[in-house]
Amino acid sequence: MTPDERPWLAGDLQKRLEPMLEMLAAAPASLSSITNPDEARRVHLSDSLSGLAVDELTLGVRITDIGAGAGFPGIPLAMARPEAKFTLLDSVGKKVRFMQKVIERLELTNAIAINQRSEVWAAGDGAGVSDVVTARAVAPLEALAELASPLLETGGSLIAWKGEREPESEVMLDKLESKLAMSLDRVVSVKPYSGSRKRHIYVVKKTAETPSNLPRRPGMVRKRPLTPQK
């Protein structure tokens, strides 16, 4: 992918997001292992915006970011997509408070940060209302698909940022399709910035109505991972 094919590096988009990097570097709380603005610009900002290589993300209008952390990728994407509405979910209060301050500083009117686990949100106001769910989190692909399914409308997409591909998770996701109503559509290869290693963005489609077993209780996706039917 050449620089001309990386729209997130063009124009003044990253410049308009500089205050976010300054706030991350100055934050007293440990919000990220990478806070140096120059490094965060590459590792967090460019990587988050590389999601713009995925058509579903450039066309979606109701986007929920799960495990939003310090606001990556949700806040950069909200800046890039002012016509879309972003809901940023995280269970850690200090991270949500930071995101709220960044949203205010950047004067974003299309993003809200909510202190809520995705399973709880999916059982209430967030049930089936998103056409896109994003996840830039350290969790297996099948776990992210389970969390995303009850948040998505049928036909919606999970967009999941990964470094290396996860062959075992791809196989498990295929075996769990009937339990999750989620199916791998494709994997998009990206190089977020010059000199970066190739990364992968998974696009997983919701193929049917939310299964009756979802969402499960908070934390169960990790404590008791779903297993394929025998």
Range list of β-strands (E), the chain: 62-66, 85-90, 111-115, 130-135, 152-162, 182-190, 199-206
> Residue 199: its pLDDT value, please?
92
> Residue 36: its pLDDT value, please?
78
> Residue 7: its pLDDT value, please?
61
Q: Is residue 199 part of a domain?
A: yes
- 43 touches 52 (CB < 8 A): no
Q: Is residue 21 part of a domain?
A: yes
- Characterize the bridge pairing of strands 111-115 and 130-135: unpaired
Q: Which domain holds residue 34?
A: 3-209
**Average pLDDT along the chain, 230 residues, taken 10 residues at a time:** 56 88 86 78 90 96 96 96 98 96 98 98 97 93 98 98 95 97 97 84 98 96 89
> Residue 3: its pLDDT value, please?
44
> Residue 13: its pLDDT value, please?
86
Alpha carbon separation from 133 to 8, 41, 51, 58 (Å, rounded): 19, 23, 12, 12
Cα torsion through 190, 192, 196, 198, rounded to 10 = -10
How many domains does one find in the chain?
Answer: 1
The CATH number of residue 193's host domain is 3.40.50.150
Q: Is residue 217 part of a domain?
A: no
Q: What is the pTM of this model?
A: 0.94
> Residue 2: its pLDDT value, please?
46
- 166 touches 146 (CB < 8 A): no
> Residue 5: its pLDDT value, please?
59
Q: What tens digit of pLDDT does each residue of 82-99 get?
A: 999 999 999 999 999 999
